[in-house]
Amino acid sequence: MSEIQIIRTKSELKQVIKAEKLAGKSVGFVPTMGALHEGHLSLVDAAKAKCDVVVMSIFVNPLQFGANEDLDSYPKRLEVDANLASDRGVQILFAPSAEEMYKPNAVTEVSNSALDSLYCGKFRPGHFTGVLTVVAKLFNLVDADFAFFGKKDFQQFRLIEMMVDDLEMNVEVVGCETIREDSGLARSSRNEYLSSEALSVAPAVARALSVLKEKVQENLGSSILDWKAAVEQDLTALGFGEMQYLELVDRDTLLPLEVASLNSVWLIAVYLEKTRLIDNLEVF
Ligand code: AMP
């Protein structure tokens, strides 16, 4: 297996990718914030299956964190991550500093005015503009044929698909299924913040989504209001904190639905201890 190449600058990255492209190689791209787990590595598997060269980025993007969020405490361990990525088949790892990524005089951003204040965006103002701006920059730097995103972050995944479509970007977005613990808990770098007691109740979120999915499938056209209230009550009784949102949304437009419908997704964000858990489940 060839050694992973760790690249810190945009200019070197562009040079290396250009050489791969000139050699006729297809490029798959997996953007991450590091603290890699099986969820991230499943994206690498998908990229390897489709592309000759797999590029991963590890960049904890300050632009997508709010003032009171966990930017400083977000887990960072580049060496461990580089080994995990390399073992799984990543050939090029782009790990720039914030100063390398952002010019101090930059003024242009990418935002989705229709959806960036809904769901996660409502509680994390500016978050999705930060995400779309950095992903657009990374797309321009990596010049990938395919880019792989987890449907774990469903709103993010759809906003990126919309950006690529709306702005005619030359990359194909591939959405990958959520990787879960045996308990059903969606893998997340932030699960590390949870105590062992919290980890034992956290799978209740995924269980609630499964129940809600069945309810939709079995009661098409019915109001979903009471079902949402019941889930909130159950989670509160189990010791969860604030439920920021629980919504059934149209899978394509991401707009909220009031009655049980197919081609939809349940989206949830709920606090457990000091950690904000998000999860979702598609309903077909
Ligand atoms: P992050 O490092 O949290 O920004 O995530 C980087 C990529 O990994 C995003 O496309 C996420 O949606 C994806 N990802 C994170 N957790 C999971 C998971 N449990 N299953 C699948 N993909 C995931």
Phi–psi pair at 28, nearest 5 degrees? -110, 140
Binding pocket residue ranges, ligand 1, CB within 6 Å: 32-33, 39-40, 42-43, 149-150, 152-153, 176, 178-179, 186-189
Mean predicted lDDT score pLDDT of the chain = 97
3-state helix, strand, coil in the chain (%, to 5): 40, 20, 35
The pLDDT, as a whole number, for residue 1 is 54
pTM of the model: 0.98
Pick from 173, 9, 21: nearest CA to 93: 9
Q: Which residue has the CA at smallest separation from atom 12 of ligand 1?
A: 150
Q: What is the pLDDT of residues 236-284, one digit of tens each?
A: 999 999 999 999 999 999 999 999 999 999 999 999 999 999 999 999 9
Indicate whether 2 pLDDT > 80: no
Query: Predicted confidence band at 163 (pLDDT cuts at 50, 70, 90)?
Result: very high
What tokens appear for 190 in the block?
A: 């932030």
Q: What is the pLDDT of residues 109-131, one digit of tens each?
A: 999 999 999 999 999 999 999 99
The answer to whether residues 160 and 111 touch, using CB atoms and an 8 Å cutoff, is no
Question: Ligand 1 centre and the CA of 202: distance in Å?
Answer: 18
Q: Which residue has the CA at smallest separation from atom 17 of ligand 1?
A: 39
Q: What is the DSSP letter of 153?
A: G
Q: Which residue among the candidates 40, 137, 152, 158 is catalytic per the annotation?
A: 40
Question: Ligand 1 centre and the CA of 75: distance in Å?
Answer: 14
User: Which residue out of 38, 63, 152 has the highest number of ligand 1 atoms within 8 Å of its CB and is therefore the one to mutate?
Assistant: 152
The pLDDT, as a whole number, for residue 47 is 98
Given the DSSP bridges, would you call strands 172-176 and 146-150 parallel, antiparallel or unpaired? parallel
Helix, coil or strand: residue 184: coil
CA distances from 23 to 18, 116, 191, 207, 273 (A): 9, 39, 41, 48, 51
Atom of ligand 1 nearest to the CA of 177: 21
Mean pLDDT of 125-147: 98
Q: What is the pLDDT of residues 63-94, one digit of tens each?
A: 999 999 999 999 999 999 999 999 999 999 99
Q: Which residues contact 205 (CB under 8 A, 6 or more apart)?
A: 185, 186, 235, 268, 270, 277, 279
Indicate whether 190 pLDDT > 70: yes
Question: Ligand 1 centre and the CA of 36: distance in Å?
Answer: 9
Helix, coil or strand: residue 69: coil
Question: Ligand 1 centre and the CA of 149: distance in Å?
Answer: 7
C-alpha to C-alpha distance for 188 and 265, rounded to whole angstroms:
19
The answer to whether residues 61 and 34 touch, using CB atoms and an 8 Å cutoff, is no
| Annotated catalytic residue 40 | yes
The pLDDT, as a whole number, for residue 9 is 98
Indicate whether 36 pLDDT > 80: yes
Pick from 69, 80, 89: nearest CA to 4: 89
What tokens appear for 5 in the block?
A: 């190449």
Q: Which residue has the CA at smallest separation from atom 8 of ligand 1?
A: 40
Atom of ligand 1 nearest to the CA of 186: 19
Question: Ligand 1 centre and the CA of 201: distance in Å?
Answer: 22
Question: Ligand 1 centre and the CA of 40: distance in Å?
Answer: 5
Bridge partners (DSSP) of residue 29 are 55, 147
The answer to whether residues 45 and 34 touch, using CB atoms and an 8 Å cutoff, is no
Other beta carbons within 10 Å of 114: 12
User: Which residue out of 65, 153, 181, 192 has the highest number of ligand 1 atoms within 8 Å of its CB and is therefore the one to mutate?
Assistant: 153
